[in-house]
Amino acid sequence: MEQWATREEINAARERLEAGHTGWSRPAAYGVGVHRDGRTVFGLTNVGTSPLPAIVLAVECGHTSGTVTHELTPAQLASAVDALAPAEACTELRHPNLVEWRRVLGEVAERGGQLVAVFVGDLAEDPVDPHDRAFRAAIA
């Protein structure tokens, strides 16, 4: 399995993924949450950070640009985890998205719920739906 052991290798992997994802525009913010019992909750939010997990998640759910929410299956999020896992070889960086994505996969397996990815193209835009509103509240 491919491993990205340095920051340079991680940046090169990100650049390859971004170049191969037609129409890609980095989001201002993004995250994965769980919708259950009428609420969407986000344990980790990314605002202006972590471009590699952003493109990995975007490729998995078909996102390219703008403000959009996507419902994810556990299999889709597990595939994103697998695609991002080579970055763990770089021990000088923390990998909070991998930790969080694995955590929510376990939570959904145990307690149920719908996985949701939110991408915000511009923080000045109004939220597009209740998932996005919950995400904006989490980053406020």
Collapsed DSSP state (helix, strand, coil) of residue 68:
strand
Token reading at 27: 């989001």
> Across the chain, which distance is largest between two alpha carbons, in Å?
42
Q: What is the pLDDT of residues 24-75, one digit of tens each?
A: 999 999 999 999 999 999 999 999 999 999 999 999 999 999 999 999 999 9
Tell me if the domain spanning 7-139 has CATH number 3.30.70.2010. yes
Question: What phi and psi values does residue 73 have, to the nearest 5 degrees?
Answer: -85, 160
**Which pLDDT does position 32 carry in this prediction?**
98
Collapsed DSSP state (helix, strand, coil) of residue 49:
coil
- What are the domain boundaries of the chain? 7-139
